[in-house]
């Protein structure tokens, strides 16, 4: 009686894709769907530095008490240094309010809640460049913020649609929020150049717009320091802003849900007020964040020697991702000479590439060749390895040629 009128939730493409891929036991299966880093063996990659940290924590045998609502203080201090730099004047002045969250998704949600419920007089409009991470729009709607979209990506060039971005900024209502992915854009892999970030900061300052940075892939694009350029540049320009940070990808802690929100504020007194509002929102929503993963991150980032090892392991990951991009491009462009412009593969950075494939072509790759990718053409580059990359390229070539000729593809 009570639940009779409940309708189904909005479909989740990634949920259904993962269920289907996980259930496929054929030896040909290639999972390029869910955004996790897989190693050359095609499995979850556990960093050596993480294994060592687990041994250290096991020996210390911490208890299972609740952590304080706002999170582990030392973890948050270390996390903020990864974002703003160890010598950050903002951190030294006490102008950054940091709280622990349930990974990047939780960080974005708490940030949206803060803007929606706890910042009097602020515009309720948030701009999202499309295509975008699928959670932004429903999460904005959930907290009562109004989303406006503009085109972030030009599929013809495989790059940022810079005219569209500038037009959105120059016509936005004063005080509006712009959701910006700091690096390794999901799903397009099309990032702003340093020069574009500089121009964007100038234009947003003129219009008094508020930046909300989402940084889920720091270290997987061009290096840990290079990938955070945008956030640090905006900080140097005096912006108030929110930064949503995740350690899922760059520590391989997907299931442990380790993240943080950092609010850059004008003064230490205002920082304290913002921190307390964030505390209140966390307390009323999930009380406190998981401790296990954050303790591991803290062990690594509290030890300079371990941090060096972590940074080197991250460098190896992003170098392999770039290598996979070059190999896939070489096979499609030079070996199979597949019709189309495949240069977008090597233009991108990070975990993903948005291949120029139609939904029908993507469906055929799933149904016929057991290659699982999002129907937009988004693939997770780390899912490629020496055993499957030629099969993937050959299958893409067959599907593209078949769709042009109308002849059934065979492999």
Residues belonging to the chain: 411
Give the CB-side neighbour count of residue 233, counting CA atoms within 13 A. Answer: 20
- Residue 251 falls inside a structural domain: yes
Tens digit of each residue's pLDDT (9 = 90 or more) over 308-336: 999 999 999 999 999 999 999 999 999 99
Q: How far apart are CA 5 and CA 185, in angstroms?
A: 38
Q: Are 312 and 300 in contact (CB under 8 A)?
A: no
- Residue 222 falls inside a structural domain: yes
On whether both 276 and 319 belong to a single domain, the answer is no
The helix (run of H) or strand (run of E) holding residue 177 is strand 177-181
Q: Are 22 and 374 in contact (CB under 8 A)?
A: no
- Residue 237 falls inside a structural domain: yes
Q: How far apart are CA 220 and CA 243, in angstroms?
A: 18
Average pLDDT, the chain: 93
Whole-model pTM: value is: 0.92
Q: Are 115 and 139 in contact (CB under 8 A)?
A: no
Q: Which of 302, 336, 353 is the last residue of a domain?
A: 302
Tens digit of each residue's pLDDT (9 = 90 or more) over 39-52: 888 888 899 999 99
CATH code: domain of residue 252: 3.40.640.10
Give the domain extent around 241. 66-302
On whether both 76 and 177 belong to a single domain, the answer is yes
Encoding tokens for residue 174? 């004063």
80 φ, ψ (degrees, to nearest 5): -65, -35
CATH code: domain of residue 318: 3.90.1150.10
Q: Which of 271, 302, 333 is the last residue of a domain?
A: 302
On whether both 295 and 324 belong to a single domain, the answer is no
On whether both 361 and 245 belong to a single domain, the answer is no
Q: How far apart are CA 379 and CA 254, in angstroms?
A: 18
Q: How far apart are CA 151 and CA 165, in angstroms?
A: 7
Spell out the SS3 assignment of 91-157: HHCCCEEEEEEEHHHHHHHHHHHHHHHCCCCCCCEEEEEECCCCCHHHHHHHHCCEEEEEECEECCC
On whether both 328 and 286 belong to a single domain, the answer is no
Q: How far apart are CA 187 and CA 130, in angstroms?
A: 9
CB crowding 150-167: b at 16 or more within 10 Å, else e: bbbbbbeebbbbbebbee
- Residue 21 falls inside a structural domain: yes
Q: Smallest Cα–Cα separation from 396: which of 33, 387, 1, 379?
A: 379
Q: Smallest Cα–Cα separation from 26: which of 287, 372, 404, 396?
A: 372
- Residue 38 falls inside a structural domain: yes
Tens digit of each residue's pLDDT (9 = 90 or more) over 218-265: 999 999 999 999 999 999 999 999 999 999 999 999 999 999 999 999
Cα four-point dihedral sign 264, 81, 179, 14: negative
On whether both 176 and 321 belong to a single domain, the answer is no
Q: How far apart are CA 340 and CA 27, in angstroms?
A: 29
Residues 6+ apart with CB under 8 A from 90: 84, 96, 235, 264
Ramachandran quadrant class, 379 (left: phi over 0; alpha: psi -120 to 50; beta: rest): beta
Is beta strand 352-354 parallel, antiparallel or unpaired with respect to 146-151? unpaired
Per-residue pLDDT at 408? 46
Q: Which of 302, 335, 367 is the last residue of a domain?
A: 302
On whether both 318 and 298 belong to a single domain, the answer is no
On whether both 318 and 297 belong to a single domain, the answer is no
Q: Which residue stretches of 149-291 are H helix? A: 162-171, 194-206, 229-236, 248-251, 268-285
| Number of domains making up the chain | 2
Q: How far apart are CA 121 and CA 100, in angstroms?
A: 26
Q: How far apart are CA 371 and CA 394, in angstroms?
A: 11
On whether both 160 and 223 belong to a single domain, the answer is yes
Our measurement of the distance from residue 401's CA atom to the centroid of its chain's CA atoms, rounded to an integer in Å, reads 33
Q: Smallest Cα–Cα separation from 293: which of 316, 265, 261, 259?
A: 259
- Residue 59 falls inside a structural domain: no
Per-residue pLDDT at 24? 76
- Residue 404 falls inside a structural domain: no
On whether both 235 and 350 belong to a single domain, the answer is no
On whether both 106 and 253 belong to a single domain, the answer is yes
DSSP 221-236: SS-TTGGGHHHHHHHH
DSSP assignment, residue 364? H
Given a cut of 50, the residues of the chain with pLDDT beneath it are 408-411
On whether both 215 and 269 belong to a single domain, the answer is yes
Per-residue pLDDT at 65? 87
What is residue 158's three-state secondary structure?
Answer: coil
- Residue 378 falls inside a structural domain: yes
Q: Are 16 and 217 in contact (CB under 8 A)?
A: no
Per-residue pLDDT at 406? 62
Per-residue pLDDT at 411? 44
């Amino acid at each position: 009686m009570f639940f009779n009128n409940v309708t189904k939730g909005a479909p989740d493409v990634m949920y259904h894709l993962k269920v289907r891929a996980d259930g496929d036991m054929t030896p040909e299966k290639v999972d390029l769907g869910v955004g996790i880093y897989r190693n050359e063996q095609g499995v979850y990659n556990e960093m050596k530095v993480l294994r060592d940290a687990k041994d250290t924590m096991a020996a210390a045998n911490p208890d299972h008490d609740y952590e304080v609502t706002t999170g582990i203080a030392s973890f948050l201090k270390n996390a903020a240094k990864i974002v703003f730099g160890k010598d950050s004047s903002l951190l030294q002045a006490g102008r950054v309010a940091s709280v622990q969250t349930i990974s990047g998704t939780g960080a974005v949600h708490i940030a949206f809640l803060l803007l929606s419920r706890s910042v009097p007089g602020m515009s309720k409009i948030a701009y999202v460049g499309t295509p975008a991470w699928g959670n932004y729009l429903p999460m904005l709607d959930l907290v009562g913020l109004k989303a406006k979209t503009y085109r972030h990506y030009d599929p013809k060039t495989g790059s940022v649609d810079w005219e569209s971005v500038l037009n959105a900024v120059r016509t936005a209502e004063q005080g509006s929020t712009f959701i910006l992915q700091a690096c390794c854009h999901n799903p397009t892999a099309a990032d702003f150049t340093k020069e574009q970030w500089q121009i964007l900061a100038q234009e947003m300052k003129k219009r008094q717009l508020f930046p909300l940075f989402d940084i889920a892939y720091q270290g997987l694009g061009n290096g840990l320091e290079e990938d955070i350029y945008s956030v640090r540049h905006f900080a140097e320009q005096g912006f108030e802003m929110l930064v949503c940070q995740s350690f899922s990808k760059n520590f391989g802690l997907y299931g442990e849900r380790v993240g943080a929100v950092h609010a850059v504020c004008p003064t230490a007194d205002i920082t304290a007020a913002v921190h307390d509002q964030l505390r209140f929102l966390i307390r009323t929503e999930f009380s406190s964040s998981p401790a296990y993963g954050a303790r591991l991150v803290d062990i690594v980032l509290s030890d300079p020697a371990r941090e060096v090892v972590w940074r080197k392991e991250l460098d190896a990951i992003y170098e392999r991702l770039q290598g996979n991009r070059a190999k896939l491009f070489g096979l499609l462009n030079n070996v199979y000479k597949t019709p189309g412009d495949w240069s977008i593969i090597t233009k991108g950075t990070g975990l993903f590439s948005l291949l120029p494939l139609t939904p029908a072509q993507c469906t055929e790759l799933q149904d016929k060749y057991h290659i699982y990718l999002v129907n937009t053409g988004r693939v997770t580059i780390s899912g490629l390895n020496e055993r499957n990359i030629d099969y993937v390229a050959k299958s893409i070539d067959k599907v593209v040629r078949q769709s042009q000729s109308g002849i059934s593809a065979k492999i």
